[in-house]
Amino acid sequence: MNLKNVSKKAMFSSFLVLTFLGMGLTSTEKVNAEESSGFFNTRTGVGIPTELQEEYLEQVPDSVASITRSASAKFTPRLTAPATNNAYYYSRANAYYPDYLMPNCTAYAWGRAYEILGSIPNLSRGDAFQWWGYNAGKYASGQTPRVGAIVCWGSPEGLGKGHVAVVEEMNGDTLTLSESSWGGFLFRTRQINKNNMGAGFQGYIYLGDFSNKSNTLGDWVTEKTWSEMNIGIWDYYTIPHTLRWQYYDLDKKEWYEIQRGVSNWTSLVVSKGTYWVKVDVLDQNNNMIETKTMGTDGATNSIINAANVTREANGEYLLGAASNNPYMSYVAKLYNYQTGQWFTQFNSQWARFMPKQGVKYRVQFEIYGWNRRLDFQGYDFVG
């Protein structure tokens, strides 16, 4: 049965439709008005359904990328074309040898990364539009330009194949990029404003840290997955130190320590809300040397984007919700205003409920990613 049939049936009775969902009903849970007492403070579901776990895990990096100081402290910008005897670009050392060598943006950027690092880069060997997604869990990435970073564009750049280039110099808002183009120019440099990177811009892949800073914290780097928010910070300290990570819940007005150690990455796994994330640099005697704080809502971009509360001809209510993330696990909780209790919970995307006549209820839809509640919405209805 699909919702089109349900809506036709409901035309002959009173009904409430908050948002119409044009999708099939795969499974529902059903309950009558014999209500049990109890308040559901925690979720009783089992997380991502077994049949979706493999697909879901493909969305989440196996490990969080590390922001580390490059072994090469000195960065030399490339402003002229590499010679044809340069092995980074014109030999089997290049992943695109021999069929897709320059002129080709990917062959050039891959060779340039090898040249910068002095070791084989862990970058995509496919089309340019695949580089950004392939990098998940490998090198740190973000939206702030850095010297030596790979710039990634998806479609419509490169006739739909994307484009990659390398940041060679920075002067205020102006970036100097080096690049090549498949079927076009062999090599060139060009200048671009960092605030206008053009259509298809995805971000920067940071091959390393080529700054001359020392004994200070740098900028934040954030990475959001479907289920959590990974937060990193550039750590330029060379003296012995420890990083203490904390977050502050503005609603509860309480601090919580996340971790303490040498890692300059942490993961924030909290419900939707308002938070501060703080990292402290501690010396060997646990005295604070420096501290930095950033604000976040703690939520990822997984949301409930549609909900359905429909009364059918027999008096039953069809309850359902949908998310922009296809790998979510769903919960629907029911509250009885007359008794003042949450009395039942469905661990499914769809459910049917037969209410008592004249009683006011509230249904709260919730979505979970790996046992973390990411979003919720509530609606009232009367039996």
- Which range among 19-33, 64-78, 285-299 shows the weakest confidence by mean pLDDT? 19-33
Q: How far apart (Å, rounded) are the C-alpha atoms in residues 305 and 157? A: 30
Confidence category of residue 299, pLDDT binned at 50, 70, 90:
low
> Which residue has tokens 């977050």?
247
Residue 308 near residue 318 (C-beta atoms within 8 A): yes
On whether the 105-205 domain is CATH 1.10.490.10, my answer is no
Comparing CA positions, the residue from 307, 306, 308, 310 lying closest to residue 14 is 310
In the prediction, which pLDDT does 118 show? 86
Q: How far apart (Å, rounded) are the C-alpha atoms in residues 344 and 31? A: 8
- Residue 264, classified by CB atoms within 10 Å of its CB into exposed (0-12), middle (13-18) or buried (19+), is buried
pTM: 0.47
The CATH architecture to which 218-296 belongs is Sandwich (2.60)
Q: What is the mean pLDDT of the chain?
A: 76
CATH of domain 3-57+301-382: 2.60.40.10
In the prediction, which pLDDT does 17 show? 32
Q: How far apart (Å, rounded) are the C-alpha atoms in residues 37 and 342? A: 7
Comparing CA positions, the residue from 356, 359, 352, 357 lying closest to residue 380 is 359
Average pLDDT in the 207-214 region? 76
Confidence category of residue 29, pLDDT binned at 50, 70, 90:
very low
In the prediction, which pLDDT does 225 show? 60
The token duo for 277 is 């994330």
Residues near 92 by beta carbon (within 8 Å), at least 6 away in sequence = 98
pLDDT tens string 143-155: 889 899 999 998 7
Is residue 44 predicted with pLDDT exceeding 50? no
Is residue 56 predicted with pLDDT exceeding 70? no
Is residue 354 predicted with pLDDT exceeding 90? yes
Average pLDDT in the 75-88 region? 91
Is residue 28 predicted with pLDDT exceeding 70? no
Q: What is the phi-psi region of residue 283: left when phi exceeds 0, alpha when psi lies from -120 to 50, beta otherwise?
A: beta
What is each CA distance from 70 to 74, 133, 204, 207, in whole angstroms?
Answer: 9, 23, 16, 8
Confidence category of residue 48, pLDDT binned at 50, 70, 90:
very low
Residue 292 near residue 244 (C-beta atoms within 8 A): no
Within 13 A of 279's CA, how many CA atoms are on the CB side?
Answer: 24
Is residue 31 predicted with pLDDT exceeding 50? no
pLDDT tens string 307-353: 899 999 999 999 999 887 766 788 899 999 999 888 888 888 898 99
In the prediction, which pLDDT does 55 show? 41
On the question of a common fold for 3-57+301-382 and 105-205, the answer reads no
Q: How far apart (Å, rounded) are the C-alpha atoms in residues 345 and 80? A: 65
Please report, for the chain, the start and end positions of each structural domain, with discontinuous segments joined by +. Answer: 3-57+301-382, 105-205, 218-296
What is each CA distance from 223 to 76, 217, 280, 306, in whole angstroms?
Answer: 28, 18, 20, 26
Q: Residues for the chain: how many in total? A: 383
Average pLDDT in the 345-364 region? 91
Which one is predicted more confidently, 250 or 91? 91
pLDDT tens string 99-141: 888 999 999 999 999 999 888 999 999 999 999 888 877 888 8
Report percent pLDDT > 70 for the chain: 74
Confidence category of residue 240, pLDDT binned at 50, 70, 90:
very high
